[in-house]
Amino acid sequence: MCKGNIDGLNFLSDETLCLHVRTGDRYAEEVLVTRYVRLVRSCARPFFLIGGNSEDLTQEGMIGLIHAVREYDGEKDASFRTFAEICIRNRLYSVLRAAARDKNSPLNQSVPLDMPFFDSNSYTSGTSNLAQRSPEDFLIDREHTKSLLSGVRKQLSEFEAKILGYYLDGLSCREIADQVGKSPKSVDNAVQRIRRKMAQQLLSGDFSGS
């Protein structure tokens, strides 16, 4: 019965599923969470590449996703996906700020590589504050982000550059391995090499990649 319920819900839109969730339908919640796991990974991975803990970041992102599933209001002018991404990123930035105040935290060296800019009419209250950055937030603006990524990509092999693209899109190592015809271990090794190169690039302060 459980599988039948979930299979039937898989064809519903995100917004319709959220209506089901508000009536206490946990199957609908499971479907939505499963549907957006890749988005959580995509949001968390830039932090991981610079120095965060992958598992911790993913768990925090999942908390943001579950909040979105339970709090989404279809009356507002935003799709569920937009709202979910804001909630996920908001959760990650909150954790990052807390980590910045805790020198022993495994996340305190993390830096997001794709800081979004939300205007004052942002869907959720307080989200626009994310644009009010300070050095202790460990945030870099879009121009530095573009320069950093551009510089790092110049240092990557063709294989590593391909892995980076898939990785930032939120694919699992096994999914990437299937895409590139390599073993998951080869993909994981490439990700670790990319992490080292990104860390060196950031620490050097030279984002030109020359």
Q: Which two tokens stand for residue 102?
A: 């805790």
Write the secondary structure of 21-42 as one string of H (helix), E (strand) and C (coil). Answer: HHCCCHHHHHHHHHHCHHHHHH
Q: Which two tokens stand for residue 16?
A: 């319709």
84, 65 contact by CB (below 8 A): yes
How is the chain split among helix, strand and coil, in percent rounded to 5? 70, 0, 30
Please state which of the four CATH numbers 2.60.98, 1.20.120, 3.40.50, 1.10.10 is assigned to the domain occupying 142-210.
1.10.10
Give 52-108 pLDDT, tens digit per residue: 778 888 999 999 999 999 999 888 768 999 999 999 988 988 887 777 676 555 554
pLDDT of residue 105: 54
- Give pLDDT tens digits along the chain (210 positions): 344 466 678 889 999 999 999 999 999 999 999 999 999 999 888 888 777 778 888 999 999 999 999 999 888 768 999 999 999 988 988 887 777 676 555 554 554 544 433 222 333 333 334 334 443 444 444 455 566 777 788 889 999 999 999 998 999 999 999 999 999 999 999 999 998 888 887 776 665 544
Residue type, 180: V
Question: What is the C-alpha end-to-end distance of the chain, expressed in Å?
Answer: 59
Q: How do the domains of the chain map onto residue ranges?
A: 36-139, 142-210
Q: Which two tokens stand for residue 198?
A: 């990104």
- The sign of the CA dihedral 191, 151, 59, 96 is positive
pLDDT of residue 207: 52
